[in-house]
């Protein structure tokens, strides 16, 4: 079965073997962890020195690839194959660049409870599993990959749930990992029901790469469980159009048919998808499968990812090639996750060229430069935060007042503050002494 894997196109297998192939448990039981197996299955032979390098890399950052995902490699040109590059180690992972960080997003610092990262005001990331079907070579949490001690116990999950329960500002919970779909159906059912029962949790999101690397895991039973906990959203991570196979498509359809809105978070990866044409083909394939491109991530500063990183300009070029040129629904937001835990920062080409008192000069995707005339008679309602007496009707019933921070604070009528000054600003420090 495995020996003939790379010749499989799914149609020419005896029925019982096809059944095995389609069973996610079979896929997981046959996960590929060593170099020899990669060579055997792909029918290729690495040079002895190359094999040695791969071995050293695996000792630092373990390998894990599903037979399904490895079967997508084009063996004629495996070195440049986007699936191979994402799945099989590269010696370059051992090179630590001058700006690389073990925990670039300072996730460990922003963790108030086991598995919980509470960074934004109203939502938390909840790492519910450290296990993945595949260890992506470009994983931003490479530091934790293969670290068996990091798999949360039920007690630890309970602590995370307790934190969310006693923190009413949390209205959005993102399950991540590891891959939440590596939990058993029963555990996932329990976890979702616990979260769903918390009154202030308005929505649950699941981040998973299972539809890409182990689509067989999307079973009818799993979908039936997920369906019980709406509003439930799923974000997956297709990085190359070749990953959107017929199998993946059928599983995405099952999820969409269950009423689950689907999004995609791609990572911009050198040698994989750093090309406007590839990205356009990918986003088109995604929307055809009812998956909304959500984010395009600039590759993080994690240790061992230097060879995957592109310039930021490459990302801007890709976004420039999409906006206006294709459906707005197919255009993701390009973001850089700020080192140090600042969160995601959107990056866009400039469309606002200039501005005067009553005119805005804009350019469109074709390079046409145009003028938008601002209204002469616009009288904004000055905001004193007293919504009761305002002529704009809010009347949400429970509209709570929130603290205004950041640039939004500088723009607010009712705020005194007109400047944001970084802590330890030297110039300001000199004034104070
Ligand atoms: C990405 C992320 C979120 C969710 O961000 P959205 O922009 O709402 O999708 C929440 N918490 C953390 C720590 C994140 O990294």
Structure tokens at 373: 């005339």
Sheet holding 359-363, edge to edge: 352-355, 359-363, 369-373
Is 179 found in the same domain as 77?
Answer: no
Q: In terms of Cα–Cα distance, which of 330, 329, 347 is closest to 338?
A: 347
Is 323 found in the same domain as 179?
Answer: yes
Is 32 found in the same domain as 68?
Answer: yes
Is 207 found in the same domain as 170?
Answer: yes
Q: In this model, does residue 341 exceed pLDDT 90?
A: no
Active-site residue, 300 included: yes
Structure tokens at 248: 């993946």
Active-site residue, 60 included: no
Q: Which pLDDT score is estimated for 410? A: 87
Active-site residue, 132 included: yes
Query: Do 343 and 300 contact (CB within 8 A), yes or no?
Result: no
Chain center to CA of 285: 18
pLDDT band at 13 (very low <50, low <70, confident <90, very high): low
Q: Which pLDDT score is estimated for 210? A: 98
Residues 6+ apart with CB under 8 A from 146: 61, 62, 64, 135
Q: Whose CA is nearest to atom 6 of ligand 1?
A: 344
Task: Examine residue 203 and state whether it is found in any structural domain, yes or no.
Answer: yes
Q: In this model, does residue 401 exceed pLDDT 80?
A: no
Q: In this model, does residue 162 exceed pLDDT 60?
A: yes
Give percent of the chain with pLDDT exceeding 90: 72
Active-site residue, 257 included: no
Where is the domain boundary, 74, 90, 106?
A: 90
Instruction: Please compute Rg for the chain using Cα positions.
Output: 24
Task: Examine residue 97 and state whether it is found in any structural domain, yes or no.
Answer: no
Query: What mean pLDDT value characterizes the chain?
Result: 91
Q: In this model, does residue 16 exceed pLDDT 90?
A: no
Active-site residue, 359 included: no
Task: Examine residue 424 and state whether it is found in any structural domain, yes or no.
Answer: no
Comparing 81-90, 141-150, 303-312, the range with the smallest average pLDDT is 141-150
Task: Examine residue 105 and state whether it is found in any structural domain, yes or no.
Answer: no
Mean pLDDT of 412-416: 83
List the catalytic residue out of 344, 363, 365, 387: 344
Q: Which pLDDT score is estimated for 10? A: 45
Testing ligand 1's pocket by substitution, the residue of 104, 125, 160, 267 carrying the most ligand atoms inside 8 A of its CB is 125
Comparing 110-114, 159-163, 373-377, 415-419, the range with the smallest average pLDDT is 415-419
Q: Which pLDDT score is estimated for 402? A: 66
Name the residue range of residue 44's domain: 3-90
Is 239 found in the same domain as 123?
Answer: yes
Q: What is the pLDDT of residues 259-275, one digit of tens each?
A: 999 999 999 999 999 99
Cβ burial of 187 (10 Å; 0-12, 13-18, 19+) is: middle
Q: In this model, does residue 6 exceed pLDDT 80?
A: no
Q: Which pLDDT score is estimated for 5? A: 57
Active-site residue, 139 included: yes
Where is the domain boundary, 318, 350, 382?
A: 350
pLDDT band at 398 (very low <50, low <70, confident <90, very high): low
Task: Examine residue 382 and state whether it is found in any structural domain, yes or no.
Answer: no
Q: Kindly give the number of the ligand 1 atom that is closest to the alpha carbon of 341.
A: 13
Q: What is the pLDDT of residues 19-74, one digit of tens each?
A: 999 999 999 999 999 999 999 999 999 999 999 999 999 999 999 999 999 999 99
Residue 379: CA count within 13 A, CB half-sphere: 2
**Cα–Cα distance list, 280 to 119, 283, 284, 332 (Å):** 32, 5, 6, 11
Q: In this model, does residue 144 exceed pLDDT 90?
A: no
Q: How far is the CA of 118 from the centre of ligand 1 (A)?
A: 9
Task: Examine residue 103 and state whether it is found in any structural domain, yes or no.
Answer: no
Is 255 found in the same domain as 338?
Answer: yes
Q: What is the pLDDT of residues 345-365, one digit of tens each?
A: 999 999 999 999 899 999 999
Residues making up the chain, counted from first to last: 433
> What is the per-residue burial (b if ≥16 Cβ within 10 Å, else e) of 115-144?
bbbbbeeebbbbbbbbbbbbbbbbbbbbbb
Q: Which pLDDT score is estimated for 2? A: 57
Q: What is the pLDDT of residues 309-318, one digit of tens each?
A: 999 999 999 9
Chain center to CA of 405: 26
Q: Whose CA is nearest to atom 15 of ligand 1?
A: 343
Q: In this model, does residue 3 exceed pLDDT 60?
A: no
Number of neighbours of residue 113 by Cβ within 10 angstroms: 18
Q: Whose CA is nearest to atom 8 of ligand 1?
A: 123
Distance, in Å, from the CA atom of 217 to the CA atom of 227, rounded to the nearest integer, reads 16
Q: How far is the CA of 125 from the centre of ligand 1 (A)?
A: 7
Is 152 found in the same domain as 224?
Answer: yes
Q: In this model, does residue 9 exceed pLDDT 50?
A: no
Q: How far is the CA of 52 from the centre of ligand 1 (A)?
A: 39
Q: Which pLDDT score is estimated for 276? A: 95
Active-site residue, 383 included: no
pLDDT band at 400 (very low <50, low <70, confident <90, very high): low
Task: Examine residue 376 and state whether it is found in any structural domain, yes or no.
Answer: no
> Strand ranges (DSSP E) for 247-290?
262-267
Structure tokens at 139: 């994983």
Mean pLDDT of 234-254: 98
Is 309 found in the same domain as 165?
Answer: yes
Is 329 found in the same domain as 267?
Answer: yes
Where is the domain boundary, 335, 350, 365?
A: 350
Q: What are phi and psi of 272, to 5 degrees?
A: -115, -55
Is 323 found in the same domain as 204?
Answer: yes
Residues 6+ apart with CB under 8 A from 223: 254, 255, 258
Query: Do 244 and 232 contact (CB within 8 A), yes or no?
Result: no
Task: Examine residue 404 and state whether it is found in any structural domain, yes or no.
Answer: no
Residues 6+ apart with CB under 8 A from 419: 410
Is 299 found in the same domain as 181?
Answer: yes
Is 309 found in the same domain as 225?
Answer: yes
Specify the number of domains making up the chain. Answer: 2
Testing ligand 1's pocket by substitution, the residue of 121, 123, 126, 341 carrying the most ligand atoms inside 8 A of its CB is 123
Q: Which pLDDT score is estimated for 390? A: 85
The CATH code of the domain that includes 266 is 3.20.20.70
Residues with CB under 6 Å of ligand 1 are 117, 119-120, 123, 125, 174, 344
Q: Kindly give the number of the ligand 1 atom that is closest to the alpha carbon of 337.
A: 15
Active-site residue, 141 included: yes
Q: Whose CA is nearest to atom 7 of ligand 1?
A: 344
Q: In this model, does residue 149 exceed pLDDT 80?
A: no
Residue 189: CA count within 13 A, CB half-sphere: 9
């Amino acid at each position: 079965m495995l020996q003939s894997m790379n010749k499989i196109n799914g149609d020419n297998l005896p029925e019982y073997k096809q059944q095995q192939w389609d069973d996610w448990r079979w896929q997981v039981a046959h996960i590929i962890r060593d170099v020899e197996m990669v060579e055997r299955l792909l029918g290729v032979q690495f040079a002895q020195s190359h094999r040695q390098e791969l071995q050293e890399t695996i000792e630092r950052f373990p390998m894990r690839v599903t037979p399904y995902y490895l079967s997508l490699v084009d063996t004629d040109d495996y070195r440049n194959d986007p699936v191979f590059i994402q799945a099989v180690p590269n010696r370059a992972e051992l090179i630590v660049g001058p700006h690389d960080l073990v925990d670039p997003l300072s996730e460990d610092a922003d963790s108030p409870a086991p598995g919980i990262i509470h960074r934004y005001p109203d939502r938390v990331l909840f790492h519910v599993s450290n296990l993945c079907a595949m260890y992506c070579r470009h994983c931003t949490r490479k530091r934790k990959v293969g670290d068996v001690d990091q798999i949360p116990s039920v007690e630890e999950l309970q602590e995370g749930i307790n934190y969310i329960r006693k923190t009413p500002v949390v209205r959005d919970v993102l399950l991540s990992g590891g891959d939440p779909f590596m939990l058993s159906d029963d555990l996932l059912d329990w976890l979702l029901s616990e979260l769903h029962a918390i009154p202030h949790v308005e929505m649950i999101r699941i981040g998973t790469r299972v539809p890409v690397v182990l689509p067989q895991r999307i079973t009818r039973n799993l979908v039936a469980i997920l369906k019980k906990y709406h509003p439930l959203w799923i974000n997956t991570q297709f990085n190359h159009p070749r990953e959107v196979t017929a199998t993946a498509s059928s599983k995405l359809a099952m999820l969409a048919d269950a009423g689950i809105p689907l999004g995609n978070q791609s990572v911009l990866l050198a040698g994989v998808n750093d090309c406007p044409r590839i990205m356009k083909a990918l986003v088109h394939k995604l929307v055809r499968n009812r998956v909304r491109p959500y984010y395009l991530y600039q590759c993080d500063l994690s240790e061992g990812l230097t060879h995957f990183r592109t310039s930021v300009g490459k990302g801007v070029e890709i976004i420039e090639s999409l906006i206006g040129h294709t459906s707005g629904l197919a255009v993701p937001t390009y973001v850089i996750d700020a080192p140090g835990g600042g969160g995601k920062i959107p990056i866009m080409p400039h469309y606002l060229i200039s501005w005067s008192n009553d005119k805005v000069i804009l350019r469109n995707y074709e390079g046409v430069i145009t003028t938008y005339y601002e209204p002469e008679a616009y009288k904004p309602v000055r905001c004193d935060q007293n919504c009761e007496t305002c002529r704009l009707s809010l009347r949400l019933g429970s509209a709570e007042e929130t603290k205004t921070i950041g640039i939004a604070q500088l723009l607010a009528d009712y705020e005194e503050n007109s400047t944001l000054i970084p802590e330890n600003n030297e110039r300001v420090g000199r004034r104070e002494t």
